[in-house]
Amino acid sequence: MNVINSTIKQAGTFTIEFSLVGIFLGVLFLFSADIIEKLSMKGKLDRLSYSATSLVKERTQLYGENYLTSSQDADLVFRVVRDSLTRTTGSFDVARFGMVLEEQTYASDHSANSLKTLRRGTLACTITAPLSQVENDLTVVTSWGRKATLYRVTLCYSTENMVEKVLDNGFAMVSSSAVVVGR
C-alpha cells in the first residue's frame, strides 16, 4: 500500500512541475517568435531605407546638382519601398507602414536652408531628432567648396505584438533610418 501511495503522489508532483515548465516554455517560444518577426522586419527596413536614400540621391545626377526633391519623388520612393515590402513580406499591411523623407540643402554661404520633410503612408513615423539638428555632424564640403545636400529616409512598420497580449509589455513599432550625402 505504501508503494501505490508514493507513486500517486509522484504523478501529481510531476503534473504540477510539467505545467509550470510548460507555461514558461510557451512564453519563451512566444517571446522568441515575436523577436524573430521584429528582427526580420528591421533587416528589411534597414536595406530598404538605405536603397531609398540612394534612389533620392542619384536623382541629382540625372537632373543636376541643384535639383530639389519634389512631392512626386517622395511618392515614387514610397511606391518602390511599399511594393518591395509587399513582395518580400507575406503579411505586409500598407496601413501599418509609414515613411519620412528629409532633405537638407545649403545656401552658397554655407547656411542651412529650411529642412524639407515629406511624409508618406498612414503610420506616423516618430523621428528622435530632425536632420537639421544632427546635420552639423554630417555635413561635407565638396571639392567645389559647397556643402553637400543631406538626405534621410526613415521607414517604420507596426508589427504584431504577441508578447503584449501575454505579458502586458513589449513594443510594436520597428523603424530604420538611413542618411546619405548628396552629390
Would you list the domain boundaries of the chain?
A: 2-181
Per-residue pLDDT of 147-181, as tens digits, reads 778 888 999 988 877 666 666 665 678 888 888 87
Q: What is the mean pLDDT of residues 88-116?
A: 83
Q: What is the mean pLDDT of residues 32-36?
A: 83
Q: Please say whether the beta carbons of 131 and 115 come within 8 A.
A: yes
pLDDT number for residue 155: 92
Which residue bears the cell 555632424? 137
